Chain A
Amino acid sequence: DQQVKQNSPSLSVQEGRISILNCDYTNSMFDYFLWYKKYPAEGPTFLISISSIKDKNEDGRFTVFLNKSAKHLSLHIVPSQPGDSAVYFCAASGSGTYKYIFGTGTRLKVLA
């Protein structure tokens, strides 16, 4: 039972354009969400988080949007840069567990 889903295994975007990575979840008890970026041969690196009390969180070029009714979150990268090329994982945790369930990842390729 995949509670956190990233249905797009890969995405290609031109440099300077917007990258939108999507994540869906099934467990309504999830209330904290993270995005991680992973380069080859490295561990995942924390990127941005959002709590369920918010519907948007921004950090520089990165913005995460949360739609609780749709159980959907998205990561927007504007403008996209070649250095953003990596695998992006979303992760979710539920109140009282603080255990993260990860999605399968989306490989982003930003074309110069």
Chain B
Amino acid sequence: EAGVAQSPRYKIIEKRQSVAFWCNPISGHATLYWYQQILGQGPKLLIQFQNNGVVDDSQLPKDRFSAERLKGVDSTLKIQPAKLEDSAVYLCASSLEWNFSYEQYFGPGTRLTVT
């Protein structure tokens, strides 16, 4: 079974530029998550999708971050414009369903450096 795929693996941009990350979840997983992990901290949930609908985006900085999951499969997370404090690893995860405590399966992450 293929795991969660993410690209790119690394990205370096200057502040005020924009960037986009892509995620392909495990086949058949209805729920998709984007997390931000700042160095020395645990992953923090940014947004959670069930199929192509948003379940929770309460911690997504909506003035600069956006995410979509067209057709309920792949997802993209965008930051525009980026700030220095956005430097982090962005993790995508998927699970079978959101309304039961299923384990989440993580991709390798995208390490973003904002200079």
A32 touches B48 (CB 8 A): no
Q: Is the interface of B mostly helix, strand, loop or mixed?
A: loop
B91 on the A face (CB < 8 A): yes
Nearest CB of chain A from residue B21's CB, rounded to whole Å: 13
In this complex, how many residues of chain B approach chain A with their Cβ under 8 Å: the count is 22
B42 touches A4 (CB 8 A): yes
Chain B contacts for A36, CB-based, 8 A: 106
B107 on the A face (CB < 8 A): yes
Interface residues of A (CB under 8 A from B): 4, 32, 34, 36, 41-46, 49, 51, 89, 91, 93, 98-100, 102-105
In the complex, how many residue pairs between chain A and chain B have their CB atoms under 8 Å apart? Answer: 47
Residue of A nearest to B101 (CB): A32
Residue of B nearest to A36 (CB): B106
Residue of A nearest to B99 (CB): A98
A99 touches B104 (CB 8 A): no
Give the residue among B41, B101, B105, B108 with the most A Cβ atoms within 10 A. B101
Chain B contacts for A93, CB-based, 8 A: 101
Complex Cα gap A105–B38 (Å): 12
Nearest CB of chain A from residue B33's CB, rounded to whole Å: 8
Residue of A nearest to B100 (CB): A98
